Every structure is written in C-alpha cells, then in structure tokens.
Structure 1
Amino acid sequence: MVCSKTKIAPIKRLSIPRLELTAVLLLTRLIKNTLRALKLEDGSVTCWADSSVTLTWITAHPARWKDFVHNRVSAIHELLPNGTWRFVPGKDNPADCASRGLTPEHLSRHELWWKGPNWLSRSKSYWPSLGFTPAQDVDLEERPGTAMIAVTRQLLYWELLDRYSNLTKLLRITALCLQQAWFACEIEIISRNEQLPKSNPLVRLTPFLDQEGLLRVGGRLHNAHIDTESKHPFILPRGSLLNKLLVDDAHKRMLHGGTQITLAFIRRTYWIVGGRAPVRKHS
C-alpha cells in the first residue's frame, strides 16, 4: 500500500451510484498525485472498482450522461487518460475496509488492507475478468435520446409529358386536371344533376358543367346577345398557381393596361391553350 484516502459523504443526500462515482473521482485524483510524486506519469494504470454502475459510466462517452455524471466522468478521463478500469468483487476490495471503519487492533493485522487481494501480486492472467452489468432497475441517468429523422422526397414526374406531343393540348389537359382537382366534390354533385348545398360558396354562381366537363358560371346571361365566353366564363380557383401565372403573364403582356384589358387578352389568348380566363374567381 502506497497511500489511501477516505471522505465523508456530503450532507446533501446523493444516490449510492453517485456516491460511488464520487469515490472513484477521489481515487483518480489520488492516483494522479501518486504517479506525479513517483514520476510514473507515462506508465499505464489499472484501476479497480466494485460498482458496476460507476464502471458503466466511466467506460462510456461522457456526453451520454446527465450533468452530474457527465462532469465527473469527464474529469476522470482527463486525469487518467491511460487508465484501465476493471471490476473487482466487493469481498476483494480493500477500499471497503476503510469505508466501513477498522479499529487500530484490527487494522494492524488486516491482510486485505495491507497486501490487497491474493491475486493482485500474481500475473494478470490470474486477475478477475468479471463483466459488469448494472441491474435493470438502476437509473443510469442517461440524457434524453435525440432522434434525427431524414426524409427524402421523391421527385414526382409529370406523367402528362409522356402522353402528349403537342404543347397546346398538354396545357389544355393540364388546366382540366387542375380544375377537377380543386372542385372534385362540386363536379361530382353537379354531374349527378343534384343541387349544391346552400352553404357552398359556388351556389351564387349557378354553376354547370359544359361539354368538356368544366365548371362554368350559369345565370340569366344565357339570353344575352354576347359571346359564350362572356355569358358563361369558367370558374377557376383563386388558390391555383396556374391561374395566378396566367393573369400575371397577361397583365405584363398588356403593359399593365387594367383589369378589363387584361381579361380580354386572357379570353383571346388562353382560350386555345386551355387556360380559360378566370373572369370570376371563386374566393
């Protein structure tokens, strides 16, 4: 025995595993000072502890544990970077003699205290190689796990590109699909010759389906002596990006000429490509 040290448990109550970890930190500091005094700082050191929980903490990365354990494990690793930690059964651990207390009479003839366990003076092949697995009900004070989930989005391919070789027809079909996507419920009800619920915002437009299956504005204008597009304009959703692009394009082409000029240009230009001017927008 070169040196030993004991310490009274703090007044603040700590769990048994925390007290054992504190004792191991005390041992690490004692070993560090002893190695410095004997000028053996470059040598390897084997350290022993009879606490499976403490050894689990020490042999894992400090970041895995909560602050109390993290700080002490980090200090142990820093003080003894070359230290090897092994498990010793409690009956062979001389440290228990000091922690439990010995009278001077018992201490003078205590073989374990003065000489250590019998196997310690023999080759390492005789040293105990017991594993250390803490009980399942022991709180290891792990930090809450952080899960990182990476989601990859598959690029959706526009299948309509493979079906049509004509741009005009492609745009027309695209407009048809977009309207049916926005007004699927209304189109289904009207196609069954049923009335839309009074709460539906399209009721006031008296909508009907034309020969292409697109929604148009109904009402008394069908008797007016004007073109069909003016009497029964298409009903396009306000939230559709396609509609926004069409209106914005027409507005720029007409040099910001105002609403009526823009709408006239849309009727004349996008009738063929299927954009169909949003003369009345559903809000």
Structure 2
Amino acid sequence: MWPSVTLYYGATQSVLRWIGSTHRRFKQFVGNRVADILESTKVAQWRWLPSADNVADDATRSRFSVDLSEESPWLNGPAFLSRPAASWPGSAPSDEANADDEEEMPSELVLIGASETFILIQRFSSYRRLLRTAAWVLRFTRRCRGQRDELENYGLTAAECEDAENLLIRKAQHEAFPDEMRAAESRLEVARRTDICGLAPYLDGNGVLRAYGRIDTALCIPYSAKRPVILSHRHSLTEMVVRDQLPSEPVRKRSLGTNGAVREEVAAPHGEGSGAERARPGEFPDRGGEH
C-alpha cells in the first residue's frame, strides 16, 4: 500500500528556512541545492526534527558502538513513527529572516533624496545647448521608465523643450531663492526682507516662481510678459538667458534695450548687472497661456 502523504524531516533549521524562503537571496551553491530539492518536493512536505529524535546522527556521534539490534532506532526508525501522526514532532519551514545565516545574501537598501540636480548649469555657456541637453536627459529617464512617445522618433518636441526649460528654471530658483521657494510651495507669504517680495511671487502650475504684473488685463501681451519668471541676476542661468535673448546689435547701442527686452519675460532683481554687455542673438521661448 502506497503512503498517502510523504514527509521529509530535517534536523537543521537553517536548511528548512532556505527551503521555505520566498526571497531566494542565497549564495549560488545553496540556491542551486534548494532549487533541486523543490523540483521534486513541496515546502509543505518538510518538517523539523529535534536532534534527540534524529537517528541518522547515530553513526556520527561520539559513541564506542552503535545499536544495530532488531529493535534499534537505526533499523526501525524513530519511536514517534509508531504514534499517531498528530503527535509527531516538528513544524513546517518558515520564512523568518536570520541575520546570522551566512548563506543568505544580505539585502541592501540605498535611500537617496530626490533631486532635480542632474545637470551642472555652470558648465554650459550656451542656453540653447543647455536646454537641449536637459531635454535629452529627460527623454532618457522617461524611456528608462518604459515611457515612449511616437513623436520622439523625430527629434526633440516642443513639449520636451518646455519641460526641460521649466526644470532648469526651478533648479535655478531653488539655488537662488531657497527660502522663498519653500514658502511658495507651502502657500506661505514670502518674507518682506527678501529682494523679490515686491514682485508678489507665486508658483504656477509647473512649479515655476513667477511675478504678478500690473498688466494682467492687457489682451495683446503674452502670459510670459504679464507674469515673468523670477531669476536671480547673480545666477549663471540668468546670464545665459540674457545672452540668448538679445538681438545682435552693437554693444554700445543695446545697453538700455537689454533690460527692457529681458524684463518682458524675466524678472531679475537688480537686473542691470545681469551680463547684458556680453549678450548675443536669440529669443527666450514663449510658453503661451497661463498654466
């Protein structure tokens, strides 16, 4: 008569934990052996056997002789086998972690703070090159997350460039106005002692710090001019934006026009020192309607 249930006993709890484990973080040898065991058995078939009942150890224990009589446990098996199955020793393997188990690969967790600082703005001298580099990096990160758009097969899109520009502006604003950005993000009033308090700063839908203007009701003026981006005149991004936006006029003729052109879309406190004398052709992109 074939047995209806087959049980396997092991005297080492570490081995039983490996068999019952669900994480499979083992060194190669242990992982291979556990895989071999589970190919022909199930976890529920394994039980733990106390050393006192493990007759298989009789041959390895320090004894002068081993009982090999007809009644010996070595030949007949442990005594508990003659009792009802409910009284048999042992429990099923568990998945409890054991920090002292050298055969398990330790799980390592690395925590990093989320940051948008993935490009050093100071290493670029051209705003357009900086913008395109940031856009390509953002596309790469989206593809790493499995996000892909058919339009991405034809070069950078306008939306990608806009996302990159907003990210660069946020980075520059966090570096130049950390306290003001935290206050705006928490919907708190910006301290009056700050340079930008008089600009009535607020965050738009893209998390960009903008200034309220006095021409909100004007219909013929774009949103970027009504609510200009706030940048520090000391930040390198502001200098690049200035150089990229101004027309190619002789230096001696564009001193007064510099601040007027830049302030249409960028509010830079003390903007007279924003490096306009080194400006070159270009135009700061218009982001259109309100966000």
TM bin (shorter chain): 0.3 to 0.5
Which structure is higher in helix share?
A: 1
Computing the radius of gyration over CA atoms, which structure comes out larger, 1 or 2? 1
Please give the TM-score of this superposition, normalised by the length of structure 1.
0.46
